[in-house]
């Protein structure tokens, strides 16, 4: 019987307690026996055991494989699009 993960690599998760910088959003960088996360406020890296992470993590805010997040990575506002003039 396999274990179902609630989080995946590159997901943004919320922890139960905020970091010292005040931010409460973390990006999952490594998943294994230990889990490495990065604070999205100050960039601080923390590695903790999977058991500690499962106790301290509250919920997944953004999944990396969500189609909405994948599209927003390549989104360019209409006023920022540059059209080359090739008629010269």
The pLDDT of residue 41 is 87
Q: Is residue 6 part of a domain?
A: no
Structural domain range at position 38 = 12-75
Q: Is residue 87 part of a domain?
A: no
**DSSP annotation string for 2-57:** PPPPS--TT-EEEESS--TTS--EEEEEEESSEEEEEETTT--EEEEEHHHHHHHE
Residue indicated by tokens 């973390």: 26
Decide: helix, strand or coil at residue 81.
coil
Q: Is residue 19 part of a domain?
A: yes
pLDDT exceeds 90 at position 73:
no
**Rounded Cα distance, 33 and 43, in Å:** 22
Tell me the two tokens of residue 34. Answer: 């230990």
- pLDDT tens for each residue of 22-61: 889 998 988 888 999 999 888 899 999 999 999 998 988 8
Number of domains making up the chain: 1
Q: Is residue 85 part of a domain?
A: no
pLDDT exceeds 60 at position 71:
no
Q: Is residue 41 part of a domain?
A: yes
Q: Is residue 86 part of a domain?
A: no
Q: Is residue 23 part of a domain?
A: yes
Q: Is residue 2 part of a domain?
A: no
């Amino acid at each position: 019987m396999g274990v179902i993960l609630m989080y995946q690599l590159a997901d943004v998760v919320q922890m139960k307690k905020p970091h010292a910088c005040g931010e409460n959003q973390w990006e999952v960088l490594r998943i294994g026996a230990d889990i490495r996360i990065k604070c999205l406020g100050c960039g601080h890296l923390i590695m903790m055991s999977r058991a500690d992470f499962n106790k301290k993590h509250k919920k997944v805010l953004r999944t990396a494989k969500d189609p909405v997040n994948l599209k927003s990575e390549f989104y360019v506002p209409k006023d920022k699009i540059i059209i080359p003039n090739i008629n010269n």
